[in-house]
Amino acid sequence: MKLKKLYIALSLSTLSFSSIAAGLDRSGQSISAFLQPGNYAEAGFHLLDPSVKGTDNNGKTVADMGESYYFPTAAIKVQATDQISLGLLYDQPYGGDATYQVDGSDFSETALNEGTKVKVRTNNITALIGYQPTENWNIYAGPVWQTVEADISLRGVAYGGLSALGTYDIDVKQKEAYGWVAGFAYQIPEIALKASVTYRSEIKHKATATETTRLPVPTFSYMQDTLEAVTPQSVNIDLQTGIAPNTLAFTNVRWVHWDQFTVSPTLLGNISEFATQNRQDLISYSKDQWSITSGIGHKFSDKWSGTALVAWDSGAGNPITVLGPTKGYWAVGAGGQYSPAEDYFIQAGMKYFWLGDADAQTGGAIRGKFTNNHALGYSLKIGYRF
């Protein structure tokens, strides 16, 4: 068995799965494409279909509010010299999608025929330069460009109904901000071993936010202001090694600093403070996220390989925001890779999530319970060596 060729073939098949995670975390922010040998490019498409249901404080069933969403990924890596590599990676690391149905629950307003909705989008481009002093070591760093935009509507008794925040809308315009990434990797291709540690900095955003309500008080009906938000710092630790003929084991450990993460628009805070003497946050998380993904990959032939994995995510605390009422997950996944030729491949994967039960809160008060939920994730990726 040529373990170096096994490392090249199977390291790809372990990496591409759709994800749902704590807080607003989505892509997992992998830099695996940059650590591939030689010149390499890839493009991926990822889809997640969650089912999230619950009951409000009155025992009313809350219909499925989990919106399906997709996000693309892309990367290119060039080995400029024996010791210098360059890379450019695109992903959408954070996001949120939820639509509460007009079902009479505390999260919708029958009089307006509208339910609470959330749509959060980010775009992320990471530029990397790596230095390889030897075949085994790779030290890398680079800048990160990121944008954030959001469109959120709050409806129903959970937000005080028509006389309070039950008609609140916020539109956050896309605004760019910058951070950085750094890390190192160690590999022994002959035994298919690779280990890497990657740190990403927090990124501070200041975006224009337009807040509106249908309240008849001018000072509570409209405001345009600068909204501050910080996407969290994170660490990814990856390890993989050959364990048997044509077989590879891998593990990813991810930490994301969600603890004390808050988004506090001015008008929302002013109205909630006036109504309840407590300023309400739009989004808040109380604990850091930890996640672990482990599995094996096996090469069946020169053209076919497959992967199986199990994953766990801690969530970002409980009670949790109504805008994403789940607390972590357990998951299993499987994927396959077809390589018609040595220089390109097609990969597909599927993942099933058992979503953790959570209490949904607004203004520090629990408004509902969401239990026994699940999600399905799908991924498709094409890679090319040149």
Distance CA 43, CA 45 (A): 7
> Does residue 21 carry a pLDDT above 70?
no
CA angle 23, 169, 328 (to 5 degrees): 15
pTM above 0.85, yes or no: yes
Residue 149 C-alpha from the chain's centroid? 15
> Does residue 278 carry a pLDDT above 90?
no
pLDDT of residue 279: 87
> Does residue 15 carry a pLDDT above 50?
no
Please report where in the chains the tokens 């790779």 appear, as a residue. 138
Q: Dump pLDDT digits (tens) for 190-238.
A: 888 999 999 999 999 999 999 999 999 999 999 999 999 999 999 999 9
pLDDT of residue 136: 96
Q: Where are the domains of the chain?
A: 3-97+112-149+179-204+231-263+280-385
Binned at pLDDT 50, 70 and 90, residue 1 comes out as: very low
Distances (CA, A) of 8 to 36, 52, 205, 349: 8, 38, 38, 18
Q: Are 352 and 376 in contact (CB under 8 A)?
A: yes
pLDDT of residue 193: 93
Please report where in the chains the tokens 């039960």 appear, as a residue. 357
Distance CA 34, CA 74 (A): 11
Binned at pLDDT 50, 70 and 90, residue 13 comes out as: very low
Supply the CATH classification number for the domain 3-97+112-149+179-204+231-263+280-385. 2.40.160.60
pLDDT of residue 103: 92
What is the rounded (10 degree) CA torsion for 297, 299, 300, 306? 30
> Does residue 2 carry a pLDDT above 60?
no
Distance CA 72, CA 105 (A): 34
| Alpha helices, DSSP H, located in the chain | 3-13, 266-276
Distance CA 303, CA 280 (A): 55
Share the mean pLDDT of the chain: 91
Nearest by Cα to 385 from 11, 3, 1, 2: 11
Q: Are 34 and 140 in contact (CB under 8 A)?
A: yes
Binned at pLDDT 50, 70 and 90, residue 323 comes out as: confident
